[in-house]
Amino acid sequence: MSQVRSILIVDDDAHLRLSLLEQLSIHSEFHAFEASDVKSGLAVINEHPIDLIIMDIGLPDGDGRDVIKQLRAAGFQKPVILLTGHDSEHDVVRGLDSGANDYVSKPFRFSILLARIRAHMRQHEYSDDASFQISSYTFHPGSKLLVAKTGAKLKLTEKETSILQYLNRAKGGVVSRDELLREVWGYNANVTTHTLETHIYRLRQKIEVDPTSAKILITDIGGYRLSP
C-alpha cells in the first residue's frame, strides 16, 4: 500500500510543469496537480487536500510570495517551496519571510528538488504545529494528541501516534499488518501481529464510541484503514 501525498505545482511555464508532473509520476508516493496561475492554483487548494505546494514567484496574475502570505494567514500549514530565476540574498530573504519553507533557484536538478520535497514533508509531519483531521478528531502527531470537537484531549503513546500517522498518510487506503509492523516497529523479529492488534485494540478504546463496532479505525481485508 503506497502512501500518496498530493503536490500542487503552480508555474506558468508549461514545459516545466509537464516535466515535473512526469518525473513525480514515476514515484508512487506522489500525486501531482498543476496550475498555471494564482486563480487556478487556489481553486485546486480549495478542492483538494494538498500536502505540499511548489510555486513560482512570477505568475501572470500575482506574486507567489503574496499568495503564500495569504495562505498562511488563512491557516494553511503545509510546506511550500518557492521557485524563481532570481537568487540574490534579498530575494531569498523575502521569499522565506513570506512564509515559504524553502527557496529553489531555476534551473535546478530534479533529484535535489525531490530530496527537499521529502525532507519538508517529514519535518512537517513531526512538527509541533502539524495537524490532521481524523474523523471528528484533530490529530497532532508532534504532541501525540487527538483533540475532540468538545476540546477534550486524548493522549497517545508513541506507537499509537506512529500507527495513526502511517494510516493517515494512506488517505483511506488499506495498510497491511506486515507493512504497519515494518514501518512502526522496524525489522524486529520479536514483534508479531499480536503486538499490533493489541495497540489497535487500545487505540479503539480511546477513539471509538463503540470499540466493538469500529467506525474510525476499521479492519479491512489484509489490514487496517482510517474512515475518510
Q: Tens digits of per-residue pLDDT, 176-204?
A: 999 999 889 986 767 888 999 999 999 99
pLDDT for the residue 85: 80
pLDDT for the residue 88: 72
Mean pLDDT, residues 141-162? 92
pLDDT for the residue 63: 93
In terms of residue numbers, what domain contains 94?
A: 5-126
pLDDT at 110 over 90: yes
pLDDT at 71 over 90: yes
pLDDT for the residue 3: 59
pLDDT for the residue 73: 93
- Is the whole model's pTM more than 0.85, yes or no? no
Residue at which a domain ends, from 98, 126, 154: 126
Measure the CA angle with vertex 80, ends 76 and 85; round to 5°.
140
- Which amino acid would we find at residue 72? R
Residues 22 and 109 in one domain: yes
Residues 115 and 137 in one domain: no
Percent with pLDDT over 70 in the chain: 96
Residues 85 and 108 in one domain: yes
Q: What distance in Å separates the CA atoms of residue 137 and residue 133, rounded to the nearest whole number?
A: 6
Residue at which a domain ends, from 93, 126, 159: 126
CB 174 within 8 A of CB 221: yes
User: CB count, 10 Å around CB of 37?
Assistant: 16
pLDDT at 123 over 80: yes
Q: Tens digits of per-residue pLDDT, 14-43?
A: 999 999 999 999 998 899 999 999 999 999
pLDDT for the residue 129: 67
Residues 136 and 153 in one domain: yes
Percent with pLDDT over 90 in the chain: 67
Residues 71 and 154 in one domain: no
For the CA atoms of 81, 95, 131, 221, the dihedral, rounded to the nearest 10 degrees, stands at -10
Q: What distance in Å separates the CA atoms of residue 28 and residue 75, rounded to the nearest whole number?
A: 28
Residues 22 and 104 in one domain: yes
Q: How many domains does the chain have?
A: 2
Report the range of poorest mean pLDDT among 48-62, 64-78, 88-102, 105-119: 88-102
pLDDT for the residue 60: 96
Residues 147 and 100 in one domain: no
Residues 151 and 122 in one domain: no
CATH number reported for the structural domain that contains residue 152 in this entry: 1.10.10.10
Residue at which a domain ends, from 67, 96, 126: 126
